Chain A
Amino acid sequence: EPEVTQTPSHQVTQMGQEVILRCVPISNHLYFYWYRQILGQKVEFLVSFYNNEISEKSEIFDDQFSVERPDGSNFTLKIRSTKLEDSAMYFCASSRDINQPQHFGDGTRLSIL
């Protein structure tokens, strides 16, 4: 069964550095998403992306965050200048269409030192 893949599984970065988290969505899916889960807290929505544009974003998704689909298969989340509070598990998801079930990757654990 097709799945969403995320790399790396664990990323350790110094505070203030830029980090790029990578995702390969399911190939015939058109909508892409990023969520995060800070340890002990709920899974929180960050952003949704369709047709090379952001379609929805949360208050968390401020100017230090950006998303990109650099080619036909990858979907990336960039955090420009990381803070300690960015430490979390970041999940990528994709869906075939709006309102269709979102399928999640295994996540990237981001640790900011």
Chain B
Amino acid sequence: GEDVEQSLFLSVREGDSSVINCTYTDSSSTYLYWYKQEPGAGLQLLTYIFSNMDMKQDQRLTVLLNKKDKHLSLRIADTQTGDSAIYFCAEINNAGNMLTFGGGTRLMVKP
């Protein structure tokens, strides 16, 4: 079945760039997503990329997709303390109606 893997933890200094990585297994996924979860809150959709794209930029966020290696990354430029959260990547199944999530990467931003 589908599997999505992420590293558990990332620590950066305020103002630096953060890069959160994700690998997935389902090569037929049409879309890949990044969600953010702050303490006590739900899953906030951050951005997503269509599988025929290599890159998508949205303000401070850059998503890179390497379809050959099934590798997805999220770069946050000029990371702020408010970016501290858990970041989940997710892939959609072929039918387009089920997300498979990674375990989440906890980003800690130090002042």
User: Interface of A with B (CB < 8 Å)?
Assistant: 4, 6, 31, 33, 35, 41-45, 48, 50, 55-56, 58, 91, 93, 98-99, 101-107
Contact = CB atoms under 8 A, between A and B. Distances in A.
Interface string B33-59: 101000011111100100000000000
Contact of B101 (A31, A42, A48): A42
B21 interface: no
B98 A104 contact: no
B100 interface: yes
A31 B97 contact: yes
Interface stretch (B60-68, B71-79, B88-96): B88-96
A56 B97 contact: yes
Contacts, number: 60
Interface of B: 30-31, 33, 35, 40-45, 48, 88, 90, 92-93, 95-104
Given A42-B102, A43-B101, A45-B100, A102 B45 contact: yes
Given A99-B30, A99-B92, A104-B35, A56 B98 contact: yes
Tell me the dominant secondary structure on chain A's binding face: strand
A2 B54 CA distance: 30
B42 A107 contact: yes
A48 B44 CA distance: 19
A48 B96 CA distance: 10
Given A43-B88, A91-B43, A104-B35, A99 B103 contact: no
A46 to B, nearest CB: 10
Contacts of A106: 40-42
Contacts of B99: 33, 35, 43, 45, 102
A15 to B, nearest CB: 25
A43 B86 CA distance: 12
B43 A99 contact: no
Contacts of B95: 55-56, 98
B104 to A, nearest CB: 8
Contact of B103 (A42, A56, A93, A103): A42
